[in-house]
Structure 1
Amino acid sequence: MAMEKTFSPKPVEDRQVEKDVLVQEPSKVILFNDEVHTFEEVIDQLIKAIRCDTAKAEALTWEVHSAGKAAVFEGTMDECVLVSGVLEEIALHTQIEV
Structure 2
Amino acid sequence: MSAVQARAEVRPSPEVEEVVEEAVAPPWMTILHNCECHTFEQVVKQLQKAIACSEAEGWEIAWQVHNTGKAVVKIGPEAECVRVGNILASIGLIVTVVQS
TM-score by length of 1: 0.76
Match of 2:44 in 1: 43
2:62 matched to 1:57? no
Q: How does 1:12-51 map to 2 (within 5 A)?
A: 21-51=22-52
Aligned residues: 81
- Displacement of 1:35 in angstroms is 1.3
TM-score by length of 2: 0.75
Q: Give structure 1 regions of 4+ aligned residues with deviation exceeding 2 angstroms.
A: 19-22
SS at match of 1:47: helix
- Displacement of 1:65 in angstroms is 0.2
Cα deviation code 1:10-65 (max 9, x no counterpart): xxxxxxxxx89452211111100011100000000000000011111110000000
Measure, in 2, the Cα distance between the counterparts of 1:74 and 1:20.
22
Structure 2 runs not aligned, ≥5 long = 1-19
SS at match of 2:71: strand
RMSD between superposed Cα atoms in Å? 1.6
- Displacement of 1:88 in angstroms is 0.5
Structure 1 runs not aligned, ≥5 long = 1-18
